[in-house]
C-alpha cells in the first residue's frame, strides 16, 4: 500500500518556523538554527505543562510517528501520548529529520530532562528504533507492547511479497491468526516455492 502523498502549502524556509501566538509554553527545544540546511540531527520538541502533567499522571504511554504532515525539512512528527478511556490523547510532539535510534534517544532525553520518570508500559508500532531509543535513555524499566495492527500489517505485507494470499488470506480472515495453519515461520523465512 502506498503512503499518502500531499503537498502542504507553507514556508520552505529553514529552520522551519513555528508561527502563532501561544498563551502557554509549547516549544521546549529547538536545535534547528545549529544547521544551515535540513539536517538529520534537527529536532523541534513541543509540550505544554498540561501535556507534561498527563505524562506524569498516566503510567502507560503510547508513541507513534506520522509522516503525512511533517513540515518542510522534517521527515516525521513523533507523538507521545497517554490513553484515557481507551482514547489516545497527544501530550508531546517532536519534529524529526530521521528515524535513527539516536534521534529517538535525543527526544527521550528531552522528555527525561522535563522530570518525567519512565512509564510502567509503552505502546508503539513495530518501529524498533523507537524502543531502542527509549531504552537507551530509561533502560529496561518499562514493559514494551507492540501494536497488533502493525504486526499483522507486516505479516500481510510478507504474505503478499511471497505471493501466498490464496493460501493464507482465508485463514487470516476466518481465524484472525496464522497459527492455525502451522506454517507461520515458513511465511517469514522460506523462499517462494518451498
Cα 116 from Cα 107, distance rounded (Å): 12
Closest CA to 108 of 130, 126, 76: 130
Helix (H, G, I), strand (E, B) or coil at 124: strand
Residue 55: what are its φ and ψ, rounded to 5°? -65, -35
Classify burial at 99, counting beta carbons within 10 Å of its beta carbon; exposed 0-12, middle 13-18, buried 19 or more: middle
CATH of 27-146, one of 3.40.1350, 3.40.630, 3.30.70, 3.30.420: 3.30.420
**Helical (H) or strand (E) element with 129:** helix 128-138
pLDDT string in tens for the chain (194-residue length):
444 555 555 566 666 666 666 678 889 999 998 988 888 899 999 999 999 999 999 999 999 998 888 888 899 999 999 999 888 999 999 999 999 999 999 999 999 999 999 999 999 987 889 999 999 999 999 999 887 777 777 788 888 888 887 776 665 544 444 444 444 444 443 343 33
pTM: 0.74
**Helical (H) or strand (E) element with 102:** helix 101-113
- Tell me if 67 sits within 8 A of 76, measured CB to CB: yes
Cβ count within 10 A of residue 41: 15
Cα 160 from Cα 84, distance rounded (Å): 36
Domain ranges of the chain: 27-146, 150-189
The three three-digit cell numbers of residue 65, written as one number: 510517528
Residue 125: its pLDDT value, please?
86
Residue 181: its pLDDT value, please?
43
Residue 141: its pLDDT value, please?
92
Amino acid at each position: 500500500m502506498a503512503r499518502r502523498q500531499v503537498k502542504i502549502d507553507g514556508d520552505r524556509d529553514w529552520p522551519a518556523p513555528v508561527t502563532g501566538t501561544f498563551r502557554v509554553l509549547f516549544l521546549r527545544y529547538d536545535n534547528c538554527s545549529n544547521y544551515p540546511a535540513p539536517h538529520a540531527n534537527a529536532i523541534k520538541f513541543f509540550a505544554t505543562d498540561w501535556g507534561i502533567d498527563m505524562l506524569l499522571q498516566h503510567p502507560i504511554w503510547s508513541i507513534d510517528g506520522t509522516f503525512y504532515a511533517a513540515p518542510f525539512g522534517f521527515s516525521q512528527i513523533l507523538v507521545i501520548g497517554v490513553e484515557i478511556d481507551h482514547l489516545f490523547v497527544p501530550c508531546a510532539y517532536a519534529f524529526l529529520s530521521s528515524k535513527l535510534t539516536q534521534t529517538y534517544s535525543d527526544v527521550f532525553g528531552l522528555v527525561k530532562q522535563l522530570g518525567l520518570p519512565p512509564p510502567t508500559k509503552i505502546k508503539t508500532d513495530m518501529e524498533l528504533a523507537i524502543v531502542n531509543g527509549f531504552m537507551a535513555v530509561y533502560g529496561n524499566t518499562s514493559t514494551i507492547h507492540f501494536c497488533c495492527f502493525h504486526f499483522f500489517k507486516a505479516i500481510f505485507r510478507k504474505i503478499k511479497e511471497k505471493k501466498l494470499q490464496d493460501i493464507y488470506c482465508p485463514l487470516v480472515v476466518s481465524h484472525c491468526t496464522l497459527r492455525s495453519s502451522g506454517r507461520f515461520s515458513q511465511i517469514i523465512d522460506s523462499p517462494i516455492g518451498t
